Structure 1
Amino acid sequence: MVHEHPQKEKAGTMEATPQDTAARVEALIRHKKNIAEIRVALRIRTAQTVTRWLAGSLAVALLFAFVIANVAVGWDSIALANKIAIPVFVLSVATFGAVWGMEWKARDDGKKHYDKTPRELKIELEAAEELRLLDAARLGLPVPDRQYSYKDAIPAELESLRKDGKKYRRRHNLAQSIIILGSLGGTSVSALADTPAPLKYWAMGITLAVGAAAGFTGYYKWRERAFYLQQTADEIEHHATAFELGIYPYDDPDESGRLAKLAKEIELLRVEQRKREQQLDQPHEGNAEAV
């Protein structure tokens, strides 16, 4: 029976050389850059597609309404509406044409990612993330190295949480401003004894705006979302600061133990945040049953 040389067996199980590790790390960096570029392109292409569809739909709707209304009741009867509808129609057509022109220019120039539809970009993004995960799995970094990388990603996580919190807070403040000012304005207009026709339309529009703002605020719960996001960000920042300063509960001299505890606490906070978001997404009946 022939025995293989021990050195050959050892060579088959050798760990990756520093050069291989550096090459794989560079590959991961390229993957991350590619994923970031795809995400930016996906946001831009989605905004372009939505704007194009909205502008085109609004132009078609205004055109049909303009023709039908003028044929039915006459130009003179709705002269004011025509003066408003025509500029809006022209603006919608111009917006549609501008977005459509940018899309075709991107296709002709062969710009990376910007010549694809949002659906194609979503598929490409999923494929790019899968490739990144495969390369990361082959890299096989030790647990302490992954924990250090996890710790270094905390500032980006904090920025994302606070950015989302500010976004929901702005929406809530805008809706509340519409409700407050709309309620006062609608009441003032309705209080007039002889309200002329144009003011009646204004009062109707204000009432609709107030109702829509109140409905959206109650349904989407922007204030609660902003509060929970800010709370989670503050708690994560507290743990990160305690880790950097080496104070309780991160006063353990063992660095690996501190890193493991930090990762555990932050993951618990993320799980709690996801549970809160799921509860906010549930209807009122579901929340009442859950409680």
Structure 2
Amino acid sequence: MEDASQGTTDRVNALIRHKKGIAEIRVALRIRTIQTVTRWLAGALAVVLLFAFVIANVAVGWSAIALANKIAIPVFALSTGTFWLIRYMETNAEGHYEKTARELKIELEAAEELRLLDAARLGLPVPDRQYSYKDSIPAELESLRKDGKKYRRKHNVAQSIIIVGSLAGTAVSALADTPAPLKYWAMGITFSVGAAAGFTGYYKWRERAFYLQQTADDIERHATAFDLGIYPYDDPDENTRLAKLAKEIELLRVEQRKREQQLDQPHEGSAEVV
């Protein structure tokens, strides 16, 4: 009996170690992703500024865009410095941080699978697994709301570009004798407005944010009703209440996945996805 209890304790401790390892990998993946995105953006900005600097000075001349050059040169230097600084940090990183984001994603998936295998070997009773499922609800809510805020922020930025760009483009184009630099600005503004409108319509950030927030609110409503013991979780049997909570939340997750699939479909086939 003691051996069985010791074996269970060892497996529980192994699960705790798995969770700690997974948390560390997730933090490393988040930091690595930020570093990678920042490095690529800094490098792309430096290259674009370099080509724009050369082309503009050849086509227009230094004196005509002296102010733009005074702004572009420091920004180019800052972008280049940021690129090489992040590159140096990535090269000299240790542990999980020395791996690429792709490698960390694969490692995270492997760690999750290993944790599930150890949890299956542990053979916890169904009520215990349901309690563990209930305890994971706050993390699920945080993830849903975080993703919703991300999509809402993207939508707001795109809409701001469309509104401000439309007004600015109209004002610049309305000038009777538009000088050459302003023509380039008008072209850039028009392109930005079109790109923002296209990305907004294609990725449907507003709809994604709305559905994520709706799912999070529904899950929170069920969790609150369970904690307060009100309908539909007013059954005196704790196991029955836990089973009902797990069932309702899984249904909400399934609905959320269907909505995401529907948003990923082209307009012609979106109505076919239920």
The CA RMSD over aligned residues, in Å, is: 2.6
Is residue 231 of structure 1 aligned with residue 231 of structure 2? no
- Give the aligned residue type for 1:119: R
Q: Contact conserved, 2:144 with 2:216, CA < 8 A, in 1?
A: yes
Percent identity, please. 85
Larger Rg: 1
Note closer, same or farther for the CA distance 1:200–1:123 as it changes in structure 2 (3 Å cut): same
- TM (norm. structure 1) is 0.83
Which residue in 1 is equivalent to 2:27?
40
SS in 2 for 1:193: coil
Distance (whole Å) between structure 1 residues aligned to residue 120 and residue 92 of structure 2: 39
Which residue in 1 is equivalent to 2:73?
86
Note closer, same or farther for the CA distance 1:135–1:53 as it changes in structure 2 (3 Å cut): same
Which residue in 2 is equivalent to 1:278?
261
Which residue in 2 is equivalent to 1:189?
172
**How far off its partner does 1:222 sit?**
0.8
- TM (norm. structure 2) is 0.88
- Could you tell me which runs of 5 or more consecutive residues in structure 2 were left unpaired when the two chains were aligned: none
- Could you tell me which runs of 5 or more consecutive residues in structure 1 were left unpaired when the two chains were aligned: 1-13
Distance (whole Å) between structure 2 residues aligned to residue 193 and residue 61 of structure 1: 30
Note closer, same or farther for the CA distance 1:172–1:71 as it changes in structure 2 (3 Å cut): closer
Note closer, same or farther for the CA distance 1:115–1:253 as it changes in structure 2 (3 Å cut): same
Distance (whole Å) between structure 2 residues aligned to residue 177 and residue 191 of structure 1: 21
Distance (whole Å) between structure 2 residues aligned to residue 193 and residue 161 of structure 1: 51
Judge which range, 117-126 or 210-219, deviates more: 117-126
Distance (whole Å) between structure 1 residues aligned to residue 34 and residue 196 of structure 2: 23
| Count of residues in Structure 1 that have an aligned counterpart in Structure 2 | 274
Question: Residues 253-273 of structure 1, C-alpha deviation per residue, up to 9 Å, x if partnerless?
Answer: 111111101100100000000
In structure 1, which of residues 169, 175, 183 is the aligned counterpart of residue 158 of structure 2?
A: 175
**How far off its partner does 1:99 sit?**
0.8
